[in-house]
Amino acid sequence: MATKTEEKVEKYILDFKEKIGKDLDVDLLRKVTKACGPSIFTRDAETVSGSSASELETVKKNFLVKKLGLKDDEKLDVALNSVLEKYGRSNRNKYRPIVYYLLAKHFKKEDQFN
């Protein structure tokens, strides 16, 4: 029987394939999902609102700067916009683990999840 986290990972895999389509590193997605902790089990916290400036600021500060150790500059905004475009701006459910996964790939920071 799959764990609750594993059930979420399966949901994210399907969402990724449906909305983004290619080149999914399932192992990395699994690690990123686990790193998100219990937030993935809260409906509101599980998703990223691409239209909320405060939400995007939180992703920048807590994930890109704190977790990935990046410098807070305009490259972070560019990357965030690029990832949201790739995921689909009109897509209402942008799952946090997928957004974080795409950002980790973008900055080649996969090693942060080993």
79 — pLDDT class (breaks 50, 70, 90): very high
For 85-109, how does the pLDDT look when each residue is reduced to its tens digit (9 = 90+)? Answer: 999 988 888 999 999 999 999 999 9
* pLDDT digit string, tens, across residues 54-75: 999 999 999 999 999 999 999 9
Q: Domain with 42 in it: what CATH number?
A: 1.10.238.120
Distance set, CA 31 to CA 28, 35, 96, 101, 111 (Å) = 5, 6, 13, 9, 10
Query: What is the pTM (predicted TM-score) of this model?
Result: 0.95
Range of the domain at 21: 4-113
Contacts of 38 (CB under 8 A, 6+ apart): none
